[in-house]
Structure 1
Amino acid sequence: MSDAKIDQVLDHLDAGLPQAIDRLMGFLRIPSISTDPAHDGDVRRAAEWLRDELASMGFAAEIRDTTGHPMVVAKTPPGEARPLLFYGHYDVQPVDPLDLWDRPPFEPALEDTPDGQVIRGRGASDDKGQLMTFVEACRAWKHAHGALPEGLTLLFEGEEESGSPSLVPFLEGNRDELAQSLALICDTGMSSDGRPAISTQLRGLLGEEIVLRGADRDLHSGSFGGLAANPIQILCNALAALKDDTGRVTLPGFYDGVEELSDDLRRDWEALDFDAGEFLSRVGLKHPVGEQGRMPLEMVWNQPTAEINGITGGYTGDGFKTVLPAEARAKVSFRLTGTQDPARIREAFRAHIRAHLPGDCSVEFHEHGGSPAAVMDTSDPAFEAAKTALSEEWDREAVFIGMGGSIPIAGDFKRILGMDSMLIGFGRDDDRIHSPNEKYDVESFAKGARSWARILATLR
């Protein structure tokens, strides 16, 4: 596409920014909390709002019912351009604790801050504001050229914040329709130093709950202490043995499939000048821990982890009760990288726990999900083209980054639909997603839409 044509799209985006913000505000007023059955009607209302908005622009848009909350699917006619799938979610997190909000979470407003103007409200950044950057880019494209970009499929789900229980069956049931050459996902953020970024790898996630049982009742520690098994002590010993003195996980085969950083990625990540001490200072800490010999970004993006997320047992009420508990529980999660196999790691973890049990104690396990990491093939020319487009828009060199968290949809797209994903988002570290007073910078919204217009132009 010529520079003159893309400039027309960008000019329409700039001129229409106030109206675009008004549309986003209307979307944010819908309390589409997918985890709360009391808001089921609101979730559907948000889906209908999206469908109607997209249809008014010329998309062939419809609601697709599932066993849970509905999907919104919208399409443009195929053409010579590369077929693309854009994904976002229209559901939002609960708002509690409500008393920590400075304004009602579903009464969004523009606010002036020392760092610029922001849109304040639940869902502003995660993910309504983000997905609307793409929608507004398409709207401006049509205003400038009389037609929407060809070959687009938009998929918006309403269950991302509640575990996406309907998503995999929906992808499997509509594989031929949804499989395109590349997926675009806008549920991520900028680099911590404010550079535009494309996330090219995401860690997988594996969760396990352990219930360890000893005696058939709580025991008096004076009568049985030192002789009878203490489930809390046994469980603590087993969990402590998950890591050695260097911070490496001890499970046999745990690091099978973990890839070392490429020279190009190491150079990109070192250039970010990430200050681990400053990052930790935001949460009241200052000393990094973790596997020795690794740079901080490598530990949170490219290395797997084992973390104890909760442990309970015995008497925890007021006062004191000297008992040996009959039962202890813990929840443990693993972040996975490369081609680590969640099923093999689950098996190794369970074997590890069992190896620490006395013969007369028992254990049961409860699965809490298991998804592999997702690593994108950046040799696809679209990645470099998008990187260039982002650099031009933000006047800063865009970078390929990793993500410490997990976005299972990227792995699902690869596993079920056979396509890679470009994860490009415009959120900031201080957006307070999932927390009170969530916000989205007006700059992120405006330049995010401009960025998508540039990226679409490079892929036409």
Structure 2
Amino acid sequence: MTVQAALTQADTGLDASLSRLFDLLRIPSISTQPEHAPDCRKAAEWLVDTLKEIGFEASVRETPGHPMVVGHVKGPEGAPHVLFYGHYDVQPVDPLDLWHSAPFEPVMVKGPTGDMEITARGAADDKGQVMTFLEACRALKAADGTLPLSVTVLIEGEEESGGVNLLPFLEANRDELKADVALICDTGMLARGMPAITTMLRGMVGEEVTITCANRDLHSGMYGNAARNPIQLLCDILSDLRDGATGRVTLPGFYEGVPVIPEETRALWRKIGPTDQEGLAPVGLSLPAGEIGYTALEQTWCRPSCEINGISGGYEEKGFKTVLPSKAMAKVSFRLVGDQDPEKIRAAFRAHVQARLPADCSAEFVPHGGSRASIVSANMPFLPPALTALEAEWQHPAAVIGCGGSIPVVTEVQQALGMDSLLIGFGLEDDRVHSPNEKYDLTCFHKGIRSWIRVLYALTGNAPQ
């Protein structure tokens, strides 16, 4: 059998592959919203049925939260064994009025570049990416009746809601899930038509804080100035998280473990990456914020960050109400690099808040996940053949890049299974991930399938000795 036979199968079966992707996209598997728990289970069951169609032994695995999906196919004797990871859950869709079409009714539209775009929640993150791998396996099986190596598939349903059950699941099923390398398709390319493998990922700490002052909402005319306003207090506390002159985070010890990136690496990134203006222009901006002295690309690939992701309190409906609220809430995230310790960062944030509270006010905290940053070694034996395979498909050298996002599974796979990961994805910067009108280019979906076919073949000649 040749690679070309499977590639031809992927080409001729593209319409059917799209139909299956659309079926999965129609399931509103929003893991953060309890009312969608049945939809998360429906998505898991749909994936099990799909894996069985391809020839996997597959099942739904229960967790204290949303279920996992696990599938296995045995490859030729002596071939490598890979663990593929993805997630079937998606982000909430609000604000709904900004969508051009129903979020869970996928449509195909022509984008600004002339390429067709698949628009739906989860199109890029992560259902479209997951399906590139599953459809590659389908094409391989259809062409030759088998896969060139052994494959275990693990698809979770809580990546978008903290993933608290993933690490315990990995540890409890270590013997079953252990492989030579993990393949993770939840990242993007360097640019349109330019494939990449992500080797640097930031970690994350998520915190929700609620400040309470008075024991009930108050009339602002009767109590204004005299009673503490929790929204004002919260804004003051959040403002103190950054130094206005330098953009640096002010938490004590925050930069412990942050590595210094070699100047030659920074020079390479400036050569292959977009300028500040080019990188920010698609979102309507032109001037980088954050730390002084670092490009926008460096700030997302190799520098830690602190962001306010949401803030609320008082009267938020239409119209006006002169209320002095009792409570105010904010959601804050920290992206971590190098050896930064997520629990130390969490403790420092809570101490920062508590130190600024008046004696008659209080704060409550809710954690929303925490993970360390991760780096894939340049000496990992599966990296060179994967880069070569991507170059063969896209006819462009594959780059080794960083990513501003956080994918805790990389660290957890290393911790629980002792395995390195290859992060190969086909998303683009303009995919509007987590935003209204999320999309995934048809070319990325099609060539993503073809890329995985080439990668799986390429890895067969590079089993660890």
TM-score per shorter chain, which class? 0.7 to 0.9
Match of 1:93 in 2: 91
Match of 2:301 in 1: 301
Pairwise mapping of residues 286-365 of structure 1 onto structure 2 (< 5 A)? 286-312=286-312, 321=322, 328-358=328-358, 361-365=361-365
Whether 1:12 aligns to 2:16 is no
For 2:315 and 2:445, locate their aligned partners in 1 and report how far apart those are by CA, in whole Å: 50
Q: Decide which of 61, 67, 70 is 1:64's aligned counterpart.
A: 61
Q: Decide which of 22, 27, 36 is 1:30's aligned counterpart.
A: 27
User: In structure 2, what residue type is equivalent to 1:142?
Assistant: K
Mean Cα deviation higher: 350-359 or 66-75: 350-359
User: In structure 2, what residue type is equivalent to 1:387?
Assistant: L
Match of 1:453 in 2: 453
C-alpha displacement at 1:156, in angstroms? 1.4
Pairwise mapping of residues 207-218 of structure 1 onto structure 2 (< 5 A)? 207-213=206-212
Q: Decide which of 24, 48, 67 is 1:51's aligned counterpart.
A: 48
Q: Is the 2:187–2:424 Cα contact (8 Å) retained in structure 1?
A: yes
C-alpha displacement at 1:20, in angstroms? 2.2
C-alpha displacement at 1:86, in angstroms? 0.2
Pairwise mapping of residues 389-400 of structure 1 onto structure 2 (< 5 A)? 389-400=389-400
C-alpha displacement at 1:295, in angstroms? 2.0
For 1:320 and 1:92, locate their aligned partners in 2 and report how far apart those are by CA, in whole Å: 35
Match of 2:127 in 1: 128
C-alpha displacement at 1:263, in angstroms? 5.1
For 1:99 and 1:322, locate their aligned partners in 2 and report how far apart those are by CA, in whole Å: 28
Change (3 A) 1:256 1:124: same
For 1:45 and 1:224, locate their aligned partners in 2 and report how far apart those are by CA, in whole Å: 51
What CA deviation, in whole Å up to 9, does each residue of 1:265-285 have, x standing for no partner?
434422224132243333333
Q: Is the 1:58–1:148 Cα contact (8 Å) retained in structure 2?
A: no
Change (3 A) 1:121 1:365: closer
3-state SS, counterpart of residue 71 of structure 2: strand
Change (3 A) 1:17 1:273: same
Q: Decide which of 78, 81, 103 is 1:80's aligned counterpart.
A: 78
Q: Is the 2:314–2:323 Cα contact (8 Å) retained in structure 1?
A: no
Aligned residues with identical type, % of pairs: 54
Segments of 5+ residues of structure 2 without an aligned counterpart are 461-465
Pairwise mapping of residues 164-175 of structure 1 onto structure 2 (< 5 A)? 164-175=163-174
Q: How many residues are treated as equivalent by the alignment?
A: 455
TM-score (norm 1): 0.88
Mean Cα deviation higher: 413-422 or 212-221: 212-221
C-alpha displacement at 1:316, in angstroms? 7.1
Whether 1:380 aligns to 2:377 is no
What CA deviation, in whole Å up to 9, does each residue of 1:130-156 have, x standing for no partner?
111111222222233331233210111
User: In structure 1, what residue type is equivalent to 2:87?
Assistant: H
Change (3 A) 1:210 1:31: closer
Q: Is the 1:76–1:149 Cα contact (8 Å) retained in structure 2?
A: no
Change (3 A) 1:110 1:238: closer
Change (3 A) 1:447 1:353: same
Change (3 A) 1:228 1:375: same
C-alpha displacement at 1:303, in angstroms? 0.6
**RMSD over equivalenced CA pairs, Å:** 3.0
Match of 1:370 in 2: 370
Q: Is the 1:142–1:149 Cα contact (8 Å) retained in structure 2?
A: no
Change (3 A) 1:377 1:17: same
For 2:360 and 2:93, locate their aligned partners in 1 and report how far apart those are by CA, in whole Å: 45
C-alpha displacement at 1:127, in angstroms? 1.9
User: In structure 2, what residue type is equivalent to 1:149?
Assistant: P
Q: Is the 2:183–2:423 Cα contact (8 Å) retained in structure 1?
A: yes
C-alpha displacement at 1:214, in angstroms? 5.2
C-alpha displacement at 1:116, in angstroms? 1.5
Whether 1:256 aligns to 2:252 is no
TM-score (norm 2): 0.87
For 2:286 and 2:83, locate their aligned partners in 1 and report how far apart those are by CA, in whole Å: 42
Pairwise mapping of residues 145-294 of structure 1 onto structure 2 (< 5 A)? 145-192=144-191, 194-213=193-212, 225=225, 234-244=233-243, 245-262=245-262, 265-294=265-294
Change (3 A) 1:321 1:207: same
For 1:356 and 1:161, locate their aligned partners in 2 and report how far apart those are by CA, in whole Å: 31
C-alpha displacement at 1:382, in angstroms? 1.2
Change (3 A) 1:378 1:127: same
User: In structure 1, what residue type is equivalent to 2:153?
Assistant: L
For 1:123 and 1:150, locate their aligned partners in 2 and report how far apart those are by CA, in whole Å: 28
C-alpha displacement at 1:380, in angstroms? 0.2
C-alpha displacement at 1:228, in angstroms? 7.7
3-state SS, counterpart of residue 8 of structure 1: helix
What CA deviation, in whole Å up to 9, does each residue of 1:334-370 have, x standing for no partner?
1111110111122222333333345555444333322
C-alpha displacement at 1:104, in angstroms? 3.6
What CA deviation, in whole Å up to 9, does each residue of 1:244-281 have, x standing for no partner?
32112222211111112245643442222413224333
Mean Cα deviation higher: 387-396 or 36-45: 36-45
C-alpha displacement at 1:175, in angstroms? 1.4
3-state SS, counterpart of residue 153 of structure 2: strand
User: In structure 1, what residue type is equivalent to 2:83?
Assistant: L
Mean Cα deviation higher: 244-253 or 15-24: 15-24
Change (3 A) 1:172 1:113: same
3-state SS, counterpart of residue 172 of structure 1: helix
Mean Cα deviation higher: 205-214 or 75-84: 205-214
User: In structure 1, what residue type is equivalent to 2:133?
Assistant: F
Mean Cα deviation higher: 131-140 or 261-270: 261-270
For 1:107 and 1:58, locate their aligned partners in 2 and report how far apart those are by CA, in whole Å: 28
Change (3 A) 1:302 1:362: same
3-state SS, counterpart of residue 381 of structure 1: coil
